[in-house]
Amino acid sequence: MFEKTNEQSSCLTMAHYEDSLSCILNQARCTEVISSSILEAIGCVLAEDLIAPISVPSFDNSAMDGFAFSSRSTDGASSTRPVSMPIVGACIAGDTAGQAHLQPGFAAKIMTGAPMPEGADTILPVEYASWQHDKLSFYEPYPSGKHVRYVGEDVTSGTVVLNKGTRISGQHVPLLCALGLSQIKIQQAPRVSWITTGQEISDKFDEPLVPGHIYNATGLYGTVAATDMGFDLEEKITVRDTPQDFAAALDTALDKKVDIIISTGGVSAGEYDFVRPVLEDAGGRILLHKARIKPGKPVLFAVLPNGTYFFGLPGNPISTAIALRVFVYPFVRKILGQGAEPHRTAKLLNAQKSSGGRTVFLMGTLDISDKGELIAKPRPKQQSFQTSPFAKSSIWIVTPEGTETLEAGSTVQWLPIEISGL
């Protein structure tokens, strides 16, 4: 679990998006630092700067199959006075018992990756000669340093190769393996329980719907979001819209000793919106309820008595998705020791009316103009229950609070919907 905080904060209601986010981030405490194998660290965040324990390469070696020799031995070579160089011995990758020292005026066969013999400083690729010769002939001087991989040319021992806060992905594996690392320090991913509320919700996707019911469009998305955002989803629960059912699910999640509980639905102001009262009865501190955003206004954030963080997200699928993206993900980044996301901008394709009283997040796509500029294009449908435009979108276009209209060509901020590897 995370370190608890005694900091008291007033409940923010209908606050500006940035203020709402700050209220949440102020509660974040970093997770525990643990050692992890390379494969188990994929998708996790590096807890400290990674310093190279060795140089890569750790010895000078050949980048080609060919012949190793001293370039000085070819000085003065010309078409009228060629230099002949006898071939003696061979240098094989992984074999240090081969040609250890090469006398001036001699060449040795060498394989890709084999150590450079002492006395050699250059490589002639085999395609420019042939393995079938017992000597090489040069009709002009041959330069030094050709096709040689030098010590530390890739990585120098003692240098920082990956910064703290880097999210480890497949592209980092070759580097980590080349450095001979079996374990690295990572921030432990937060453990999360996901509670979907609603008696109309069905998780039986292979069965016809009962009249008045809908399929669960957010529960499985939570599993995907876990992989994308860097948290471990320990369990998913679907419960009816009653305080008793939700309270029981909350107790189950707390028994799992998870770090974060996320629920969907039950956070608006209707008769059956019970999440806040149940949390308050359980001694939870409500730090945020409702933010001036669209969609996702009813979002709720609380800290429970044992220090567990709670996010109550609105139940409409797109509201759930945006609340995850702009509240939960920044929070997860902070507890994993990552900084804020980079600021991304693009030109708006066409004029867009907005709700001036709220920060609006629009589903859209990103293109590149003939001039090489990034172009943000909002989808025509933007309702919070509409999953089809979300499936066809790649970005969220941010319309700041106080903006009534965005003109075509204006600069807008955008966020990628899929965030793995950021």
Give residue-wise pLDDT tens across range 386-412. 899 999 999 999 999 988 888 999 999
Q: How far is CA 178 from the centre of its chain?
A: 22
CATH of the domain at 224: 3.40.980.10
> Quick check: is 158 in a domain?
no
Query: With contact defined as beta carbons under 8 Å apart, do 60 and 122 qualify?
Result: no
CB-CB contact of 110 with 68 (8 Å)? yes
pLDDT at 94: 83
Are 311 and 33 in contact by the 8 Å Cβ rule? The answer is no
Q: Is the pLDDT of residue 348 over 90?
A: yes
State mean pLDDT over 46-74: 97
C-alpha to C-alpha distance for 335 and 340, rounded to whole angstroms: 12
Is 248 exposed, middle or buried (CB count within 10 Å of its CB: 0-12, 13-18, 19+)?
Answer: middle
What's the gap between Cα 312 and its chain centre? 24
340 lies in some domain: no
Length of the chain: 422
Domain that holds residue 46: 33-57+165-187
pLDDT in tens, 105-124: 999 999 999 999 999 999 99
Report if residue 156 sits inside a domain.
Answer: no
pLDDT at 151 over 60: yes
Residues 183 and 90 grouped into a single domain: no
For residues 95 and 216, membership in a common domain is answered with: no
- Same domain for 183 and 195, yes or no, is no
Same domain, 244 and 307: yes
Question: Burial, 168: exposed, middle or buried (Cβ in 10 Å; 0-12, 13-18, 19+)?
Answer: buried
> Which CATH number fits the domain that encloses residue 49?
3.90.105.10
pLDDT above 70 (res 13)? yes
Spatial distance between the Cα atoms of 85 and 118, rounded to a whole number of angstroms: 17
User: 394 and 293, same structural domain?
Assistant: no
Cβ atoms of residues 352 and 324 within 8 Å: no
Tell me: do 221 and 245 sit in the same domain.
yes
Q: Is the pLDDT of residue 335 over 60?
A: yes
- From 292, 314, 335, give the residue that closes a domain: 335
In this structure, the answer to whether residues 50 and 83 fall within a common structural domain is: no
Q: Is residue 211 part of a domain?
A: yes
Residue 301 domain flag:
yes
Q: Are residues 202 and 139 in the same domain?
A: no
For residue 46, what pLDDT is reported? 98
Other beta carbons less than 10 A from residue 7's beta carbon: 10
- 4 has pLDDT over 50: no
Domain termination site, one of 335, 354, 383: 335
Q: Is residue 159 part of a domain?
A: no
Whole-prediction pTM? 0.87
Fill in the DSSP letter of residue 328.
I
Above 90 in pLDDT, residue 162? yes
* Pairwise CA distance, residues 326 & 78, whole Å: 70
Whether residue 231 sits in one domain with residue 128: no
Within this chain, do residues 93 and 197 fall inside the same structural domain, yes or no?
no
- 199 lies in some domain: yes
Contacts of 127 (CB under 8 A, 6+ apart): none
Name the pLDDT band for 419 (thresholds 50, 70, 90).
confident
Q: Are residues 193 and 328 in the same domain?
A: yes
- Neighbouring CB atoms inside 10 A of 259's CB total 24
Same domain, 208 and 322: yes
Whether 104 is covered by a domain: the verdict is yes
Per the structure, the count of domains in the chain is 4
Beta-bridged to residue 162, according to DSSP, are: 50
CATH number at residue 399: 2.40.340.10
Residue type, 279: L
197 within 8 A of 265, measured Cβ to Cβ:
yes
Residue 60 scores a pLDDT above 50: yes
196-207: per-residue pLDDT in tens?
A: 998 888 888 999
Residue range 118-135: average pLDDT? 91
